[in-house]
């Protein structure tokens, strides 16, 4: 009988530990949880799915490679964390004054101190800029600028208050809508209009 009590106690402890680990896998507890933002631009429904990294004590987010910045100037960034950020529009839209046909695109950025380039790319299903090679099973760089449907250059600005978690949002004022990227003290705004 005593052995049975021990076995029951061990089973209960193991189930409690398993449940605790399962709770830690909840998306809200991930280091870079997934988020979805959406709006209407004219008749087009527009949505962005992306992962939101936190600062987590890192003081050098955007900067030079020599300074060991997390996102070095001049290098392609997935515009978030984990899988490549995805932008979907059910109708044609204008982004920064340039036409983007209806569809779903991966969104990449090339940050620099004075300007950023945003890339809307037709290649989907990427883990960042990488994809698994079906022949070797290895992850390889799968981003190609040849698949950019639209690239635009925008000017970043500096925020007065720090934003701890990378955030993409839509800001609608009057008849215009801006796609807004914010992290730490950097903000990038891109006007979006019906296409």
| Beta carbons within 10 angstroms of residue 45's beta carbon | 14
Residues 153 and 172 in one domain: yes
Residues 75 and 160 in one domain: yes
Residues 123, 124, 127: CA angle, nearest 5 degrees: 110
Residues 42 and 136 in one domain: yes
Encoded tokens for 115: 């300007």
Output the pTM of the full model.
0.81
DSSP code at position 96: T
Its domain, for residue 15, covers 1-30
Residues 121 and 167 in one domain: yes
Instruction: For residue range 145-166, list pLDDT tens digits in order.
Output: 999 999 999 999 999 999 999 9
Residues 147 and 129 in one domain: yes
Name the pLDDT band for 2 (thresholds 50, 70, 90): low
Q: Which residues contact 40 (CB under 8 A, 6 or more apart)?
A: 46
Residues 79 and 162 in one domain: yes
Residues 95 and 142 in one domain: yes
Q: Cα 171 to chain center, whole Å?
A: 17
Which stretch of 17-21, 34-38, 69-73, 102-106 has the lowest confidence by average pLDDT?
17-21
Name the pLDDT band for 137 (thresholds 50, 70, 90): confident
DSSP code at position 53: -
As for how many domains the chain has, the answer is 2
Cβ distance 65 to 76 under 8 Å? no
Stretch (H or E) spanning 139: strand 139-141
């Amino acid at each position: 009988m005593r052995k049975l009590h021990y076995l029951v106690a061990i089973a209960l402890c193991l189930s409690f530990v398993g449940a605790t680990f399962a709770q830690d896998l909840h998306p809200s507890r991930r280091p870079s949880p997934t988020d979805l933002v959406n709006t209407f631009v004219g008749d087009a429904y527009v949505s962005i799915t992306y992962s939101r990294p936190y600062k987590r004590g890192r003081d050098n987010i955007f900067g030079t490679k020599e300074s060991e910045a997390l996102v070095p100037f001049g290098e392609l960034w997935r515009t978030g964390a984990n899988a490549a950020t995805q932008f979907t529009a059910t109708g044609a839209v204008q982004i920064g004054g340039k036409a983007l046909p209806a569809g779903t695109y991966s969104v990449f950025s090339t940050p620099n101190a004075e300007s950023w380039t945003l890339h809307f790319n037709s290649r989907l299903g990427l883990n960042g800029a990488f994809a698994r090679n079906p022949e070797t099973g290895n992850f390889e760089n799968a981003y190609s600028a040849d698949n950019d449907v639209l690239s635009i250059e925008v000017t970043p600005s500096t925020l007065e208050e720090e934003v701890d978690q990378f955030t993409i949002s839509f800001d609608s004022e009057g008849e215009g809508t801006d796609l807004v990227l914010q992290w730490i003290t950097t903000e990038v705004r891109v006007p979006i209009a019906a296409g």
